């Protein structure tokens, strides 16, 4: 069975359906059928002003979503007679970079490309019709915003809504924004070293630049998510796995503090930098890592918000207690899981 193309009359039908007040009430029916993450639970208790299908997390991709949406739609009166398709497909945006999470999800969902068509885009959501199903590709919680004044014709940096495969609240960008909390350090490679120290400051391991570059390195492709809401998919780095850095070290420590030139620190559970989850990266996109992006070497921990990927890394301090770092001690979330939108304290 190949993907059916959506016909114009099906699309027009959905546009009419979702532009009436009654259909907005009907959207609650859709809502209840879906995966109940804590975000969705919050949204249920707030007044929704827009049609929302809350999609997020691994459980929402693929068969789960298709079945859930189908089940709810079946008991909802429809003014048209098109047969309900059995699959949902993430829509729109450029082709997913091979190997990225987005590509994996798309491949799991459809045997072939089933591109949909954007039928309506509002301030906070887009509604696309894919294989005959309406599918909201990004959503916001129903807080009552004070409406800022929209400036006619202002677009801002090139970006796209997060299409299912970025964490909630994120958008995709083409460029690589530089955010700095201080001046770019200027360190000569002959003066650079990377150390692992224990709580008392005793050096457990040390590499100078030559020794560090001689360590076995990996090429990785990862998605990165900044707490300021931009994401980049399929970024390519070369670096030394933290498993290698910590490999020869015996420790009972449960936490690590990454420290950098310029005084920046960030804290992580030790388990989050092991098992192939973290690298000390020195090349980005086939070139030496530029100073403004953290060169000569930075920490790379893509499963957490990017402030945890400390630029200008000089070492890891292993600690038995968790010590909030530069941003964690002034409002940013101590752990920082983008998929649970852990941006600030209390999230």
List residues near another protein by CB under 8 A: 121-124, 140, 148-157, 159, 161, 171, 178-184, 226-228, 262-263, 291-292, 307, 326-327, 329-332, 343-345
Q: C-beta of 7: minimal distance to another protein in Å? A: 28
Q: C-beta of 35: minimal distance to another protein in Å? A: 24
Nearer to another protein, 183 or 248 (CB): 183
- Pairing mode, if any, of strands 279-284 and 133-136? unpaired
Cα distance between residue 241 and residue 301, in whole Å: 10
SS3 assignment, position 259:
strand
* 64 C-beta neighbours (distance < 10 Å), count: 15
Nearer to another protein, 28 or 344 (CB): 344
Nearer to another protein, 284 or 307 (CB): 307
Nearer to another protein, 67 or 120 (CB): 120
Q: Are 181 and 292 in contact (CB under 8 A)?
A: no
Q: C-beta of 226: minimal distance to another protein in Å? A: 8
Nearer to another protein, 177 or 269 (CB): 177
Cα distance between residue 36 and residue 63, in whole Å: 16
- Pairing mode, if any, of strands 287-288 and 298-300? unpaired
Helix axes 63-74, 21-32, angle to 10 degrees: 130
Cα distance between residue 115 and residue 101, in whole Å: 18
Q: C-beta of 329: minimal distance to another protein in Å? A: 7
Q: C-beta of 22: minimal distance to another protein in Å? A: 26
Choose among 347, 255, 342: nearest CA to 307.
Answer: 342
Q: C-beta of 154: minimal distance to another protein in Å? A: 5
Cα distance between residue 238 and residue 284, in whole Å: 6
| Tokens found for residue 109 | 């969902």
Nearer to another protein, 212 or 327 (CB): 327
């Amino acid at each position: 069975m190949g993907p059916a193309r959506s016909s114009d009359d099906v699309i027009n039908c959905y546009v009419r359906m979702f532009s009436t007040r009654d259909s907005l009430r009907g959207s609650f029916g859709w809502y209840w059928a879906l995966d109940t993450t804590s975000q969705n639970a919050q949204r249920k208790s707030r007044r929704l002003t827009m049609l929302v299908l809350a999609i997020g997390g691994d459980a929402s991709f693929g068969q789960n979503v298709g079945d859930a949406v189908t089940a709810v739609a079946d008991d909802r009166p429809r003014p048209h007679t098109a047969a309900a398709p059995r699959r949902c497909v993430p829509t729109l945006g450029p082709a997913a970079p091979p190997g990225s999470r987005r590509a994996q999800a798309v491949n799991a969902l459809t045997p072939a490309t089933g591109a949909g068509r954007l039928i309506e885009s509002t301030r906070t959501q887009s509604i696309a019709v894919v294989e005959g199903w309406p599918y909201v590709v990004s959503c916001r919680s129903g807080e009552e915003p004070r409406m800022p004044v929209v400036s006619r014709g202002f677009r801002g940096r090139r970006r796209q809504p997060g299409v299912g495969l970025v964490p909630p609240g994120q958008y995709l960008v083409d460029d690589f924004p530089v955010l700095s909390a201080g001046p770019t350090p200027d360190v000569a490679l002959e003066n650079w070293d990377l150390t692992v120290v224990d709580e008392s400051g005793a050096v457990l391991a040390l590499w100078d630049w030559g020794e560090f570059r001689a360590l076995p390195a990996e090429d990785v492709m990862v998605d990165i998510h900044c707490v300021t809401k931009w994401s980049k998919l399929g970024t390519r780095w070369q670096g030394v796995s933290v498993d290698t850095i910590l490999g020869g070290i015996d420790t009972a420590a449960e936490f690590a503090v990454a420290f950098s030139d310029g005084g920046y620190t960030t804290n992580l559970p030790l388990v989050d930098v092991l098992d192939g989850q973290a690298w000390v990266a020195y090349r980005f996109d086939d070139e030496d890592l530029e100073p403004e992006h953290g060169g000569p070497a930075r920490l790379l921990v893509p499963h957490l918000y990017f402030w945890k990927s400390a630029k200008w890394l000089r070492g890891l301090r292993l600690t038995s207690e968790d010590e909030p770092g530069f941003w964690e001690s002034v409002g940013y979330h101590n752990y920082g899981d983008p998929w649970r939108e852990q941006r600030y304290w209390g999230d």
